[in-house]
């Protein structure tokens, strides 16, 4: 991969919510939801995120995450390495 592949990501949503899993359950977390996945798992709970989304620069993503003023960030959804 070239460096330019990492300058932007296709994002379905960026939101703020309490963490629902692991040791950090209940703590304020910024969630960055990636778009796209070619795997087609039957148990997928984010079918709405398979296509679409917005191509956002890493700078834009970081600015949005900082708006939530929380120390935890979870990157979720999609399958960016597939």
Write the pLDDT tens digit of every residue in 30-53.
999 999 888 888 888 888 888 889
Domain annotation covers residue 82: no
User: Is pTM beyond 0.95 here?
Assistant: no
Residue 77 has pLDDT above 50, yes or no: yes
Rounded Cα distance between 19 and 31, Å, is 9
33 within a domain of the structure (yes/no): yes
Task: Name the domain count of the chain.
Answer: 1
* pLDDT(11) > 50: yes
Percent share of the chain, pLDDT over 90:
59
Give whole-number Cα distances, 50 to 30, 40, 75, in Å: 20, 9, 15
Instruction: Give the domain extent around 28.
Output: 3-76
User: Average pLDDT of the chain?
Assistant: 87
Report if residue 61 sits inside a domain: yes
Residue 19 forms part of a structural domain: yes
């Amino acid at each position: 991969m070239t460096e330019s592949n990492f300058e932007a990501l296709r994002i379905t949503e960026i939101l703020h919510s309490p963490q629902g899993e692991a040791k950090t359950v209940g703590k304020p977390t910024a969630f960055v939801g990636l778009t796209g996945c070619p795997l087609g798992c039957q148990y997928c709970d984010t079918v709405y995120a398979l296509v679409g989304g917005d191509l956002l620069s890493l700078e834009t993503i970081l600015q949005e995450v900082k708006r939530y003023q929380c120390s935890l960030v979870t990157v979720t959804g999609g399958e960016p390495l597939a």
